Each structure stands twice: as structure tokens, then as C-alpha cells.
Structure 1
Amino acid sequence: MGDFADHIGKSIRLLYYPPYHSKYNPVERCWEILDKHWNGAKLTDTETMLEWAKSMTWKGIHPVVQLNRTAYEKGVTVAKVAMQAVESRSARNPLLPKWDILIRPACTV
């Protein structure tokens, strides 16, 4: 997000949904509709699951569905110095420090 803020030259505000507030998150509502859509179907293989996901609609629109076979490494962390550089560009709302973060573009000289 920092690179994107630099690219557009504007600050970006990240607002996260707190845990257990999925009713406000549109992505979670989409998952709920998918869950109801394939309720009772035998998802015996990946292709069946993908076809069921492609056939659902949410607000009259079919989703774009594709299989991602990327294996993500566990335990990968950002070095402390790199994280300090990120935090120096960020401002956290003191009332909601975990859920409201402003990322400023890097200063250019």
C-alpha cells in the first residue's frame, strides 16, 4: 500500500472490520451466499467446487473464479528495520489503532 500511495501521491486510509463484525463486510456476505448456493452439493473435487462457485450470483453478477495453487510460506516476517520504515509513514487513529491506519506517500525531494 505504501508503494501505491507513492504512485498516486496521496494518502490511503485503511479501515479494518473488527473481529465478529462480518455482517458489515461485503466479502463475508458474498461468502454467505456462496455457502447457501452450494448447500448440500457434494464437492468431491476441485473442478466441482470451482463450477459451483462460478454458477452462483451475488447482486445479479457471477463472480470471477480461478484456482490459485500458490503455496504460501508460513512464519515469514518483516525485519524490524523494514517495519519501522512502514510505521514511520503510518498514522494510527488513537481511538482505533488496530482498525484505522493512514498511510502517507513518501516525501519526494
Structure 2
Amino acid sequence: MVINLDNGPNSASGRTQFIRRMTEFADKSGLRICLIYYPPYHSKYNSVERCWGILEEHWNGEILDSVNKVIKWASTMTWKGIEPIVQLCKKVYEKGIRLTKKEMKPYEDRIERSETLPKWDVTINPLPG
């Protein structure tokens, strides 16, 4: 599975919680996961960023003053003929929690980083079995 990422701070390849979660997902799913990051300041290549632009045009300056209104507007847009599935996520992720180098070592040992682009091309292999 290849996942294209926007190089943002929450999904950077140096984020311990993100790498831990992705490694656990690889194990659970049995998938080999390749994390490929868009270059900094190249949002034109990122389809999610282009989708946000379409969503902003769809809202057309509407005042989004409630969660229900945001969900309604987001649910009625289309992009390239595709309608989104919109759900409210109420989970709160704690900030500032980081794995120590010792805790991170088993995860780092399992990932492969590109020799030429180690921060932007990362492969996570699932455990065998």
C-alpha cells in the first residue's frame, strides 16, 4: 500500500506516535506500507489539497457557524464526480506524547528508509505470520 502524505507535522516520518501507529496497522493488515511524502511547498501535486480547494469553492463564502452546517456542506460537494463520505470524529488525541529512543527502536528497526530521501520515502514491513 502506498500512502501519499503532505509533509505536515502530524504525519512526518520522524513522529514517533505516527510511525508506531502505522507499524501497528501494517502488522494488523499484513500490508507492506510505503509512506511517500510530497516535497515541501508543492501542494499542487497533492490531490487532498486540490480537493480542499474544490470544497472552498463549493462553500462559496457561506458562514459555517455550526458543526452540523459544516458536515452538511461537506456532504453535498462532489469532486471528479465523487461524493465524499463525511463523518464527525470526536476522538481527541493527546499532544506532546513521544516515544523514547528505546521505545522507538523496535519500530525503527522494522522500517526501511530510502538512502537518498530518508525523511520522504519510508517503507514499513509487517511482521511475518
TM-score by length of 2: 0.73
Identity %: 53
Quick one: distance in 1 between partners of 2:26 and 2:54? 33
Deviation at 1:19, TM superposition (A): 2.0
3-state SS in 1 of match to 2:102: helix
The alignment status of 1:42 with 2:63, answered yes or no, reads yes
Quick one: distance in 2 between partners of 1:8 and 1:107? 11
| Structure 2 counterpart of 1:2 | 23
Deviation at 1:4, TM superposition (A): 4.1
| Structure 2 counterpart of 1:104 | 125
Quick one: distance in 1 between partners of 2:67 and 2:123? 39
Q: Name the Cα RMSD after superposition.
A: 1.9
3-state SS in 1 of match to 2:63: coil
Label 1:65 to 1:10 Cα distance change in 2 as closer, same or farther (>3 A): closer
| Structure 2 counterpart of 1:32 | 53
Deviation at 1:59, TM superposition (A): 0.9
> 1:4-23 to 2 correspondence within 5 Å?
4-7=25-28, 11-23=32-44
| Structure 1 counterpart of 2:11 | none
Label 1:94 to 1:52 Cα distance change in 2 as closer, same or farther (>3 A): same
Quick one: distance in 2 between partners of 1:26 and 1:52? 20
Quick one: distance in 2 between partners of 1:8 and 1:55? 32
The C-alpha deviation readout for 1:23-74, integer Å capped at 9, x for no partner, is 1111111111101110211112111111110110011111011111222211
| Structure 1 counterpart of 2:86 | 65
| Equivalent of residue 108 in structure 2, options 82, 87, 93 | 87
Q: Which 4+ runs in 1 deviate beyond 4 A? A: 7-10
**Relative contact order (C-alpha < 8 Å, sep 6+): which is higher?**
1
Q: When the two structures are aligned, how many residues end up with a matched partner?
A: 108
Structure 2: runs of 5 or more not aligned = 1-21
Quick one: distance in 1 between partners of 2:29 and 2:91? 29
